[in-house]
């Protein structure tokens, strides 16, 4: 399998893992390891000053995994920029998964605010990985603005509905000058494989693994699916046709006619 190159870093794994919704930090750590992931997303939230706080970072070995803070919760560009800067101060790295989602029900990203924030953050030296609706025009504007990837959604976050935006993602991949990471809505390993077969450079999965009955085994399933899809893409899939084409020879049958 080819390596995945984002900005100036190379990765063997093409499966990015989110760290939300796990029943415990131990299960999360097990799932990340089982997935063979090298990039893990995290969110930034206020400390609860009246209760004890779990230390998420204690469960993530930062020598093995690149922490990718997101700007979840941001409703506009300014909030996202503020979160990105806080995340940089907290993590010591300048990578950020940019998300601006003003709509609390479908959590769909706001394209114009995302572009605005991306332009500022790129100028500020961030490696920006923007989460967007599968909009080929916006994807092009973002890559032209200097983002490190474009991350179109397959379907709404946490919906597990799979690749509902397939036709648009195909166009995004076709015109891409940066890696395309399909993010959000991939509910089954087959969805991840489908995205990778199409030529996506990577996938990001959280809910489908974290809320599975056995997250560690599901992480293994997604790892295999992502690798299988990528290998298929790199192998050059055979063409399709409407008529049947026999796989076995059409001569030497045991009959005389």
The least CB distance from residue 18 to another protein, in Å, is 3
Catalytic residue among 3, 97, 116, 123: 97
The least CB distance from residue 251 to another protein, in Å, is 56
Q: Which of residues 39-58 bind another protein (CB under 8 A)?
A: 41-47, 49, 52-57
φ/ψ of residue 2, rounded to 5: -60, 155
Q: Which is nearer to another protein, 3 or 62 (CB)?
A: 62
CB of 193 within 8 A of CB of 180?
no
Q: Which of residues 75-94 bind another protein (CB under 8 A)?
A: 85-87, 89-91
Nearest to 141 by CA among 118, 120, 169: 118
User: Which residues on adjacent β-strands are paired with residue 253?
Assistant: none
Residue 21 lies near another protein (rule: CB under 8 A): yes
Rg (CA), the chain: 20
Span of 13-21, 139-147, 191-199, 246-254 interacting with another protein by CB under 8 A: 13-21
Residue 18 lies near another protein (rule: CB under 8 A): yes
Quote the CA–CA distance of 154 and 214 in Å, as a whole number: 23
Residue 167 lies near another protein (rule: CB under 8 A): no
Quote the CA–CA distance of 116 and 103 in Å, as a whole number: 18
Quote the CA–CA distance of 143 and 194 in Å, as a whole number: 23
The least CB distance from residue 53 to another protein, in Å, is 7
Residue 149 lies near another protein (rule: CB under 8 A): no
CB of 198 within 8 A of CB of 170?
yes
Q: Which is nearer to another protein, 22 or 233 (CB)?
A: 22
Residue 23 lies near another protein (rule: CB under 8 A): no
Query: Hey, what are 64's tokens?
Result: 């093995």
* Contact pick of 4, 28, 81, 150 for another protein (by CB under 8 A): 28
Q: Which is nearer to another protein, 97 or 141 (CB)?
A: 97
97 a catalytic residue: yes
Which ranges constitute the DSSP H helices of 146-249?
Answer: 166-174, 189-198, 207-210, 215-235
Nearest to 149 by CA among 2, 1, 14, 12: 14
Residue 38 lies near another protein (rule: CB under 8 A): no
The least CB distance from residue 194 to another protein, in Å, is 20
φ/ψ of residue 48, rounded to 5: -85, 105
Binding site for another protein (CB under 8 A): 18-22, 28, 41-47, 49, 52-57, 67, 69-70, 72, 85-87, 89-91, 157-158, 184, 204, 206-207
Active-site positions read 97
């Amino acid at each position: 399998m080819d390596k995945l190159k984002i900005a100036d870093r190379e990765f063997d794994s093409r499966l990015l893992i989110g760290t939300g919704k796990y029943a415990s930090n131990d299960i999360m750590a097990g799932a990340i390891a089982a997935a063979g992931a090298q990039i893990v997303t995290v969110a930034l939230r206020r400390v609860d000053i009246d209760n004890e706080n779990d230390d998420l970072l204690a469960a993530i070995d930062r020598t093995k995994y690149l922490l990718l803070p997101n700007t979840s919760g941001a409703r506009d560009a300014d909030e996202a920029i503020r979160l990105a800067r806080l995340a940089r101060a907290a993590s010591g790295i300048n990578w950020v998964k940019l998300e601006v989602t003003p709509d609390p029900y479908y959590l769909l990203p706001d394209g114009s605010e995302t572009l605005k924030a991306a332009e500022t953050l790129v100028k500020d030296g961030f490696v920006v990985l923007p989460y967007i609706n599968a909009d080929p025009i916006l994807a092009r504007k973002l890559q032209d603005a200097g983002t490190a990837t474009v991350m179109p959604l397959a379907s709404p976050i946490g919906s597990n509905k799979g690749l509902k935006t397939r036709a648009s993602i195909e166009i995004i991949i076709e015109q891409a000058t940066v890696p395309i990471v399909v993010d959000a809505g991939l509910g089954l390993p087959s969805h991840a494989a489908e995205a990778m077969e199409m030529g996506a450079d990577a996938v990001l999965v959280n809910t489908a693994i974290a809320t599975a009955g056995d997250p560690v085994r599901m992480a293994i399933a997604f790892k295999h699916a992502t690798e299988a899809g990528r290998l298929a893409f790199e192998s050059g899939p055979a063409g399709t046709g409407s008529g049947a084409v026999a796989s076995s020879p059409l001569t030497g049958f045991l009959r005389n006619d």
